[in-house]
Amino acid sequence: MKEFILVIDDEKTQREILTGFLKKLDYKVEKAACGKEGLQIISNNPVDLVLTDFKMPDMDGITVLQEIKKLNPEIDVIIITAFGTIEKSVEAMRKGAEDYLIKPINLDELELIIKKAIERKSIISENLQLKKEISEKYDFSHIIYKSKVMEEVMNIAARVAQSKASVLIRGESGTGKELIARTIHYGSTRKNKPLIIVNCGVINENLLISTLFGHEKGSFTGAIKQARGKFELANKGSIFIDEVGDLPLTAQVQLLRVLQEGTFERLGGELPVEVDVRVIAATHRPMEEMIDSGTFREDLLYRLNVITINIPPLRERKEDIPSLLNYYLNTYGEENRKSLHGFSKEAFDFLMKYDYPGNVRELKNIVERSVILSRGEVITSEDLTENIKRKEKKKSSISNGSLQQQVEGLERNLIEEALLLTEGIQTKAANLLGISERNLRYKMQKLGLSKRE
């Protein structure tokens, strides 16, 4: 659609010149001889941009600007001013004008200013549409699950979304921790503000503090100017810190301060920076063991896990697999322009029995590859990649269970033997095993070993 531009000017010659020029540029143009007439046109038409003289008999440019913004704050206004009223035009820009032009008007400059205003408006409109689409995509109703354990996860996420509390999401890689974090953000009152994502596992330790908190000019070699960090960019919104267990201790101190006081200092800076940021963190690491080993601060963990959400691995919620398979089959079938009607019985049985060590992420990749490789209207076992078949074959050759199961069995035997030798005294048993008493209690609880008197 052609942009609708209104020209308001009490000088007939200038009004006609501007109107004719804009029509040649293929804009839809209306004209008005005074502010009152212009406002009447705006009230009855979908005007995109107004070009108005500053000095007119009935009202000045600032008054016209204010009245336009009352009718529709989305309309851009460009002020035309004589040299002697530049100061007033600058004041108008502070009150919401897009730009100003000095008489006599340079038509090339006018064309450039209008194009910039329309492009800026288009970008804002696209961003709003994108935010709407993202918000809808990460709506709670769009998470796919059937299991009771995931229903509980979603119930907690929905309840915590409206709060300001920090959240720690725990689960294996590929379980969907980032998806839950996005859903919490877009289900909160902060949804129209930024969600900034940082993965601590992929950023060099030396750069991580600068990435999170920014730096001042000259704070290190190559710091040629001041840079804002992720926390400043996330102000009034949320920050998702993935793999928070990979944070170095120096960064943990800074993060703790942000959580406690809402302030931090840029690298090399002295003045505190205030922010209002909701922190959502995620990890697959055993945080209690990291605390015992001195690699993670206990007080920081307490601050992070005001609310803890544990996402179970896919192998523990297999009732979710059929819905996920169908969802990704439809998604990638449409993306690859293939009409697919499901899975063969053999392929479906295989996918239901498979343990998915990479969780939902692996299931998603398996379906995508299978859709691309498929030759017919149904995904068959031949369409499944050799990679997962080899994994399943290798798994079946381990008669004594998985590595994790064997490790847990060994731990159980050693702990039971240590408790027997120390007559159930946990402090002595922990010393005998070479671990802390806290770590021993954690392992006993995890392995289902009852406390011995």
How far apart are alpha carbons 101 and 83 in whole angstroms?
10
CB atoms within 10 A of CB 415: 21
215 touches 223 (CB < 8 A): yes
210 touches 264 (CB < 8 A): no
Give 59's contacts (C-beta < 8 A, 6+ positions apart). 34, 35, 36, 67
88 touches 62 (CB < 8 A): yes
Under DSSP, is residue 305 helix (H, G, I), strand (E, B) or coil? Answer: coil
How far apart are alpha carbons 382 and 343 in whole angstroms?
11
30 touches 6 (CB < 8 A): yes
Query: pLDDT truncated to tens, each residue of the chain (453 aa)?
Result: 588 999 999 999 999 999 999 999 999 999 999 999 999 999 999 999 999 998 898 888 889 999 999 999 889 999 888 766 667 767 777 788 888 888 888 999 999 999 988 888 877 766 556 555 555 566 666 788 899 999 999 999 989 998 999 999 999 999 999 999 999 998 899 988 999 999 998 888 778 999 999 999 888 888 888 889 999 999 999 999 999 999 999 899 999 999 999 999 999 888 899 999 999 999 999 999 999 999 999 999 999 999 999 999 999 999 999 999 999 999 999 999 888 888 999 999 999 999 998 999 999 999 999 999 888 889 988 888 665 655 555 555 444 556 677 777 788 888 887 887 787 888 888 888 888 888 888 888 888 776 543
